[in-house]
Structure 1
Amino acid sequence: MFYDNFERVCAEQRLKPSRACIMAGLKSGRAANWKKSGALPSQEELKRLADVLKCEVADFFRPETKRIHSTSQDALAAMAMRELEPGGDLDENERELLRIYRKCDNRQRALFMVSTYKFEEENLK
């Protein structure tokens, strides 16, 4: 149960489980160990993974993620859609944000979004 949900949360961030472990300061092989043995991470490991993946620890134990950062992704998607609409005017900062995001590969987008979520968490609450 844990590993399947962990893998799903990682996929939502377009990260491999081993990469999420590395980003959390764990050994990359930890994910493979959890998958193979069915063991659970320690509370500290769970917290570190949740911080990296910008989710709640509980998301690793439920079939659906209740992300604290969905508004940031929604905002980017809304800007992109507004840009395509007739008369959909974006300001200079919104256009620049989308330009940078579009240049990123999947790994860079995940890192970009982690920074965005961290900024949102620290400054917009």
Structure 2
Amino acid sequence: MEAAAETVTPLDEGFEWAIVEIFGHRKHAGRSREEERFGAKMLRIDVPTIAVNQAEGKPAEVGGIESWTTHWYGGASLFSYTLTDEATVMRINRPYVSASRYIAPPDRYDGDAAEDVSILDDVDDEPRF
């Protein structure tokens, strides 16, 4: 089954931002509204898919909305319906971006070998317990 992708801007035509739990097992955050489908009132929730921009050698950055995935549920399947704001919906749907690897800069070496050896002279040869 292919997800419905839309170009409608958020909150057009009666949409509101919400977090919805279905039977207490599935959780969606997106824009929602009540619609009549198949002769019954249903909840429509559009969940955003957020893009991740990752360039070679740079940390990944979370981008804008790539597409919307639409789900319909009957009223009897709702466990929880919580109104929220757009920022919360985007934070909940933000994809996991793994931490980038930090590469330490090279040690500073100014070319004076005598100074480097004097640092080593201060180190005790005896082990410390």
TM-score normalized with structure 2 length: 0.19
TM-score normalized with structure 1 length: 0.19
Question: Normalized per residue, which structure has more helix?
Answer: 1
